[in-house]
């Protein structure tokens, strides 16, 4: 201790006595509050009813409420009605347009021109829809991907695939955009979109020595659709394969869901190996299980085409390939395009079934088409089977 502290020691005793007496008196008055605080095991979390105000970090900050005579009435904003000249506004949901490329062809594949908007009736889940726009497109250029199965499985399948690819290339025009892909166990991009037919022929020239024997159709088709979704406008996939999938990571259901969610993509399918299958089946070389696999493969190709508004072909002879691709080119270049806003405005991501019919506007009955000799013609309306509605979260 310092010297100054020693001198101060003679006068601190009376101060201690006074402070002690004052502390004893304070403890006497404060003891009820301390006892009540010690009797509570948990801290107080709410202010009493007569208190108001926010809560702090260490508990409620009790602020006395104002007396009723001190409170002022809250002034509420008066309700204002819209002027009569403005009218009443309502919130509308923006329903996207549904575009439908439609082909109307006879039994022999000929396009039927000259139809008008009133000849078409569009049903969505059985409910008639109002057509917004209508147009007939003639000789339009195409944007397509040629997806070819090329695997080490059978020479007959590979020969048909190459024959079909060259037949399709022969139908191309200089305004067309074409990409070429092949697949076995993996998908191979041989040439990206080009208008140069020589590049397309060069890409097909690479298909000479097959690699893997697996044919992962589902993976290849899913990947191609995924790439085409970033391309604007109407797109087409010309799928040339036997329809068998052996080793895909994706299953059939996932590919169908991908097709349901796709927009502006139409698939045309060419089934290969039909001549070989007929030969093996006719001579008893194909068992029932193998035959069932091929029948299931054909059904898958038909489903891919029907869901997207295309067609499936199964040529049995070499001469049929040019004819089938001539039909495909005619279907793509000559179409009716209809757009409408669905009456069902729910954006729930559900699958909507679409059906297009031809009707006589005078009586509403099915339209009768006749040739130059006034003979009734059987025709087929080819359109997308449905679409997936937009989801609110998208």
Beta bridge partners of 136: 336
Cβ-based burial of 249 (10 A; exposed 0-12, middle 13-18, buried ≥19): exposed
Q: What is the mean pLDDT of residues 286-291?
A: 88
Tokens of 352: 């909507």
CA distances from 290 to 161, 163, 287 (A): 20, 24, 5
Tokens of 354: 């679409």
Q: What is the mean pLDDT of residues 67-83?
A: 53
Domains parsed from the chain with CATH numbers: 92-137+337-394 (no CATH), 139-333 (3.40.50.410)
Distance from C-alpha of 394 to C-alpha of 263, rounded to nearest angstrom: 14
Tokens of 21: 């007496």
* pLDDT tens, residue by residue, 346-391: 988 899 999 999 999 999 999 999 888 889 999 999 999 999 998 8
According to DSSP, residue 161 is labeled H
Report DSSP letters for 254-321, one per residue: HHHHHHHH--SEEEEEEE--HHHHHHHHHTT-S-HHHHHHHHHHHHHHHHHHHHHT--EE---STTHH
Q: What is the mean pLDDT of residues 118-138?
A: 95
- H, E, C per residue of 303-362: HHHHHHCCCEECCCCCCHHHHHHHHHHHHHHCEEEEEECCCCCCCECCEEEEEEEEECCC
Out of 53-57, 118-122, 211-215, 326-330, give the one with best mean pLDDT.
118-122
Residue 176: pLDDT over 60: yes
According to DSSP, residue 208 is labeled T
Out of 49-53, 75-79, 193-197, 230-234, give the one with best mean pLDDT.
193-197
Residue 2: pLDDT over 60: no
Q: What is the mean pLDDT of residues 239-251?
A: 94
Q: What is the mean pLDDT of residues 68-72?
A: 51
Q: What are phi and psi of 240, to 5 degrees?
A: -115, 105
Q: What are phi and psi of 52, to 5 degrees?
A: -140, 180
Q: Which residue has the higher pLDDT, 6 or 141?
A: 141
Q: What is the mean pLDDT of residues 225-232?
A: 92
pLDDT grade, residue 27 (50/70/90)?
very low
End-to-end CA distance of the chain: 79
pLDDT grade, residue 10 (50/70/90)?
very low
Q: How high is the pLDDT of residue 48?
A: 52
The number of beta carbons lying within 10 Å of the beta carbon of residue 312 is 21
pLDDT grade, residue 83 (50/70/90)?
low
The number of beta carbons lying within 10 Å of the beta carbon of residue 139 is 9
Residue 230: pLDDT over 60: yes
Q: Which residues of 1-24 are buried (b: 16+ CB within 10 A; e: fewer)?
A: eeeeeeeeeeeeeeeeeeeeeeee
Q: Which residues of 314-344 are buried (b: 16+ CB within 10 A; e: fewer)?
A: bbeeeebbbebbebbbbbbbbbbebebebee
Q: How high is the pLDDT of residue 135?
A: 94
Distance from C-alpha of 172 to C-alpha of 162, rounded to nearest angstrom: 16
Out of 32-46, 84-98, 375-389, give the one with best mean pLDDT.
375-389
pLDDT grade, residue 154 (50/70/90)?
confident
Lowest mean pLDDT among 58-67, 221-230, 248-257, 326-335: 58-67
Q: Which residue has the higher pLDDT, 304 or 72?
A: 304
Helix axes 155-169, 274-282, angle to 10 degrees: 150
Strand order in the sheet with 386-388: 127-128, 120-124, 351-358, 386-388
């Amino acid at each position: 201790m310092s010297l100054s502290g020693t001198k101060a020691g003679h006068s601190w005793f009376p101060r201690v006595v006074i402070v002690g007496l004052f502390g004893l008196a304070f403890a006497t008055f404060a003891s009820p509050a301390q006892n009540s605080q010690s009797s509570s095991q948990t801290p107080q979390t709410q202010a009493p009813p007569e208190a108001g105000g926010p809560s702090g970090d260490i508990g409620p900050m009790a602020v006395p409420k104002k007396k009723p005579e001190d409170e002022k009435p809250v002034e509420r904003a008066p309700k204002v009605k819209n002027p009569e000249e403005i009218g009443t506004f309502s919130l509308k949901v923006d329903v996207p347009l549904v575009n439908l490329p439609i082909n109307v062809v006879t039994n022999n594949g000929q396009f039927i021109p000259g139809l008008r908007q009133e000849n078409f009736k569009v049903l969505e889940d059985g409910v008639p829809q109002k057509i917004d726009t209508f147009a007939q497109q003639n000789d339009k250029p195409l944007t397509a991907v040629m997806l070819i199965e090329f695997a080490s499985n059978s020479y007959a399948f590979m020969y048909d695939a190459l024959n079909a690819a060259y037949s399709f290339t022969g139908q191309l025009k200089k305004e067309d955009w074409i990409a070429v892909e092949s697949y076995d166990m993996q998908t191979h991009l041989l040439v990206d979109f080009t208008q140069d037919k020589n590049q397309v022929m060069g890409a097909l020239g690479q298909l000479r020595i097959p690699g893997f024997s697996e044919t992962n159709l589902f993976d290849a088709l899913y990947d191609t659709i995924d790439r085409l979704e970033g391309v604007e406008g109407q797109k087409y996939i010309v799928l040339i394969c036997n329809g068998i999938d052996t080793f895909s990571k994706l299953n059939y259901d996932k590919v169908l869901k991908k097709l349901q969610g796709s927009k502006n993509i139409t698939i045309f399918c060419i089934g290969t190996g039909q001549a070989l299958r007929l030969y093996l089946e006719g001579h008893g070389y194909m068992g029932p299980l193998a035959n069932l696999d091929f029948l299931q493969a054909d059904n898958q190709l038909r489903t891919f085409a029907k869901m997207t508004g295309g067609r499936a072909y199964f040529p049995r002879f070499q001469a049929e390939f040019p004819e089938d691709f001539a039909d495909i080119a005619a279907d793509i270049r000559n179409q009716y395009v209809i757009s409408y806003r669905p009456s069902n405005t729910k954006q729930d991501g559900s699958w909507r079934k679409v059906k297009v019919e031809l009707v006589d506007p005078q009586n509403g009955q099915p339209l009768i088409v006749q040739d130059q000799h006034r003979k009734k013609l059987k025709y087929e309306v080819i359109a997308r089977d449905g679409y997936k509605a937009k989801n609110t979260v998208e």
